[in-house]
A and B are shown apart, each in its own frame.
Chain A
């Protein structure tokens, strides 16, 4: 395996079998999608800047909320973590590459096709998907535009991509660990990803089933979601959330993994309670399968169902609490420094915990009747998705970028970006809690005058937050092109793990001969 990357640009990036190149492709693709989904968010916040209809029509507004959700969840966050997994897992477990390198490239290249199909619907007759990212029937079936069929098949191939990517990760972790790298010696990031991959393989087929039922109901006269034929629209919600709840952990577990790598490095202490971290992650994954209907407290479930899903949901706070306390205890009495990745990680711990607590509020079935489908829910899941997943993804890029490209990013610019992002994030989403509690419903293009002030504040925060992402993009490009060259394998003095034994920048092929772990 002496050969390096192909000299031909197209051949290198189109036909790759290299885990680093494919990881890079995933990361750039996800950032492009992040900007696209962010642009949709800007449209939403611009329209909501003031009450009344200013810029766009309501029909287009709901397409924006739908596409923002779909693009961010499936196009930005998920591929970002798959990109990190591609880059880091072989380096962390001492493997030469991913287990199935060609399938790896197939998993990636499906995504541009899937999202081209999905976004092209915006320009078609009838417009894009307008039924919310959760695409509840009958909005997504009986009342959907014809273009919903493109959405359905787009989701199908995107799911195939996720399943193949996950199988690859499972096979890599189970089969490619270097001698001596036992399961309980694996870095937390690897652990969280293998559990995530398991969740993906389990629930992506259920999503495929859900969209297949939609397809049949729309085009072939079946009645899954039609009570007139003996079906039930609520069946859609059950099937969707049986996929959807594990899905939100698919998004957040790798983020836990990233933070569990970064905090020990900048605390200069090993991770506190490693094995409890592993078991907590596994418990969260298990619980994610049996709590789905807490998204549906207001559909008219029997009281026994409401109670069960309420209590089961509250249980999730236990393993999540274990994790939060472990991160805090890792920092306790550590020799802390606050480089950009650490700042993002600490912000993650604080803001994710905040989002977790609003989640506890929402888990109370009786109280949820008040919060359901309001901006309180929007605020809750943006605290865990943005301050959780996106912050940790940003932290991961700052943390590993010097290892990837052998150049150091600009620390000052990184810190400036962090503080803008941190403050702007809170300006954007904190007021949405108040709006939600006061009764403002989500997904509407207009609102009553009593909501005007906080909406304006939220919009200003959103534009600022969007600007911070451009700074991030600039800093990354600047680092890759003109950053200060470094060659120390140990980029961060406190970092532990196999990836830091490799030269900087990381060579094209990882461990041609497996290292031996004592």
Chain B
């Protein structure tokens, strides 16, 4: 590149095509895997391609940065890229939160034969009345729904039935109430404490780095990674508890559906964030970042704050109001 031009336009690269190939193989493999009788082989090959390409790609970007050919303007492009990537992630969660709102506030009453929101008009729609009279007679909407419409109808026809397409959970992940001892024994609260603390520790690490205290930075960042892993451990505990003791599974109607999809995708994002922070930690330990130039870490930290914010939403909406 010439000296008068400050923006770095990289040379041709084989990485994008390799990444696209990896994604294509992964997508094809995932589809053939979920179809009955399918195997995971192709998907795993795709994942392997993807993982190695990502490793090479980011190594290259890090190398370009340490060589000093990344101008401030290019760095700002990376910053903008991260902003809007996080925004797109946010919209992914908006989709699931919106669905939870819809099934909880509107669909439940409609299945029950009632008008969902009586602000304008208290009369139930024809569809809701048909639900209550023809499709799901006897179904009583409540949140969290312990019985599913399918269960009610099947049991009405045959009180001894044990097989259902959707069997509600024995118990939901509800708020235990305000008593101190019960709150202390409530796992989601500890999850919240762990994740909020980790947001604090990553913030301290960030400040330490900005002040040039590399050692403190690495220490607090390491602590953040550990807290992230601890959170995932607690989450796994909770899932085991749900499956084994509460009978709460993916198949247990809309409650299990929304609960596991929301917390599960959050958990997946915590995993991704932990990996990002771990990479930042390893790079920090190698001495990669300095007071002003540390976007690799900063991006991971933003992502971490983002998963934290999502968790606060989950905690309030799925657990406390659940």
Name A's B-contacting residues (CB within 8 A): 1-2, 6, 11-12, 14-18, 95-97, 99-106, 108-110, 112-114, 116-117, 146, 149-150, 152-154, 156-157, 160, 163, 166-168, 170-172, 174-176, 201-206, 208-210, 212-213, 215-216, 218-224, 226-232, 235, 238-239, 242, 299-304, 509, 512-513
Q: Which of A117, A153, A201 has the most CB of B within 10 A?
A: A153
Q: Which chain B residues in 122-148 approach chain A with CB under 8 Å?
A: 125-127, 131, 135-136, 145, 148
Residues of A within 8 A of B119 (CB): 304
Q: Which of B12, B27, B30 contacts A15 (CB 8 A)?
A: B12
Q: Is the CB of A222 within 8 A of B84?
A: no
Q: Tell me the smallest distance from the CB of A16 to a CB of chain B, in Å.
A: 6
Q: Which of A175, A203, A224 has the most CB of B within 10 A?
A: A175
Beta-carbon nearest neighbor of B9 in chain A? A97
A218 to B7, CA, bound (A): 48
User: At the interface, yes or no: B180 with Cβ under 8 Å from chain A?
Assistant: no
With A235-B99, A301-B125, A302-B116 as contacts: A146 and B80 at CB distance below 8 Å? no
Q: Which of A106, A149, A175, A303 contacts B121 (CB 8 A)?
A: A303
Residues of A within 8 A of B84 (CB): 166-167, 170-171, 201
Contact mask for chain B residues 134-165; partner A; CB cutoff 8 A; 1 contact, 0 none: 01100000000100111000000000000001
Residues of B within 8 A of A2 (CB): 2
Q: Tell me the smallest distance from the CB of B209 to a CB of chain A, in Å.
A: 24
With A102-B10, A205-B89 as contacts: A222 and B17 at CB distance below 8 Å? no
User: At the interface, yes or no: B246 with Cβ under 8 Å from chain A?
Assistant: no
With A99-B77, A170-B84, A227-B131 as contacts: A221 and B9 at CB distance below 8 Å? no
User: At the interface, yes or no: B76 with Cβ under 8 Å from chain A?
Assistant: yes
A109 to B135, CA, bound (A): 48
Q: Is the CB of B257 within 8 A of A229?
A: yes
User: At the interface, yes or no: B185 with Cβ under 8 Å from chain A?
Assistant: no
Q: Tell me the smallest distance from the CB of A118 to a CB of chain B, in Å.
A: 10
Q: Which of B21, B78, B89 contacts A113 (CB 8 A)?
A: B21
A229 to B27, CA, bound (A): 29
Beta-carbon nearest neighbor of A207 in chain B? B95
A424 to B101, CA, bound (A): 47
Q: Is the CB of A239 within 8 A of B98?
A: yes
Q: Is the CB of A223 within 8 A of B257?
A: yes
Q: Which of A105, A113, A167, A171 contacts B13 (CB 8 A)?
A: A105
A299 to B19, CA, bound (A): 42
Beta-carbon nearest neighbor of B92 in chain A? A205
Beta-carbon nearest neighbor of B164 in chain A? A228
Contact mask for chain B residues 89-110; partner A; CB cutoff 8 A; 1 contact, 0 none: 1011011101100110001101
A229 to B145, CA, bound (A): 10
User: At the interface, yes or no: B233 with Cβ under 8 Å from chain A?
Assistant: no
Beta-carbon nearest neighbor of A14 in chain B? B17
Residues of A within 8 A of B230 (CB): none
With A105-B17, A113-B23 as contacts: A231 and B31 at CB distance below 8 Å? no
Q: Which of B32, B77, B102, B136 contacts A175 (CB 8 A)?
A: B77
Q: Which of B74, B107, B121, B126 contacts A230 (CB 8 A)?
A: B107
Q: Which of A14, A100, A117 contacts B81 (CB 8 A)?
A: A100
Residues of B within 8 A of A163 (CB): 85, 88
With A153-B30, A157-B24 as contacts: A202 and B91 at CB distance below 8 Å? yes
A228 to B126, CA, bound (A): 18
Residues of A within 8 A of B26 (CB): 153, 157
Q: Is the CB of B1 within 8 A of A1?
A: yes
Q: Which of A170, A216, A230, A299 contacts B111 (CB 8 A)?
A: A230
With A102-B10, A205-B88 as contacts: A171 and B77 at CB distance below 8 Å? yes
With A2-B2, A175-B77, A228-B148 as contacts: A206 and B166 at CB distance below 8 Å? no
Q: Is the CB of A114 within 8 A of B77?
A: no
Stretch among B220-228, B248-256, B313-321 lining the A interface:
B248-256
Q: Is the CB of A203 within 8 A of B135?
A: no
Q: Tell me the smallest distance from the CB of B242 to a CB of chain A, in Å.
A: 14
Residues of A within 8 A of B91 (CB): 201-203, 205-206
Beta-carbon nearest neighbor of A155 in chain B? B27
Q: Is the CB of A230 within 8 A of B253?
A: yes
A510 to B13, CA, bound (A): 19
Q: Which of B80, B94, B261 contacts A170 (CB 8 A)?
A: B80
User: At the interface, yes or no: B244 with Cβ under 8 Å from chain A?
Assistant: no
Q: Is the CB of B88 within 8 A of A204?
A: yes
Q: Which chain B residues in 163-201 approach chain A with CB under 8 Å?
A: 165-166
Q: Tell me the smallest distance from the CB of B7 to a CB of chain A, in Å.
A: 5
A105 to B85, CA, bound (A): 17
Q: Which of B17, B23, B92 has the most CB of A within 10 A?
A: B23
Q: Is the CB of A96 within 8 A of B35?
A: no
A83 to B254, CA, bound (A): 42
A215 to B12, CA, bound (A): 37
A371 to B30, CA, bound (A): 40
Residues of A within 8 A of B116 (CB): 302
12 more A-B contacts (CB under 8 A) besides A171-B81, A230-B253?
A: A96-B9, A99-B74, A99-B80, A100-B81, A117-B24, A209-B92, A218-B34, A229-B150, A231-B257, A302-B117, A304-B117, A512-B5
13 A-B pairs, CB-CB below 8 angstroms? A14-B17, A15-B16, A15-B17, A108-B20, A114-B24, A154-B27, A172-B77, A205-B92, A218-B34, A219-B34, A228-B150, A302-B121, A304-B120
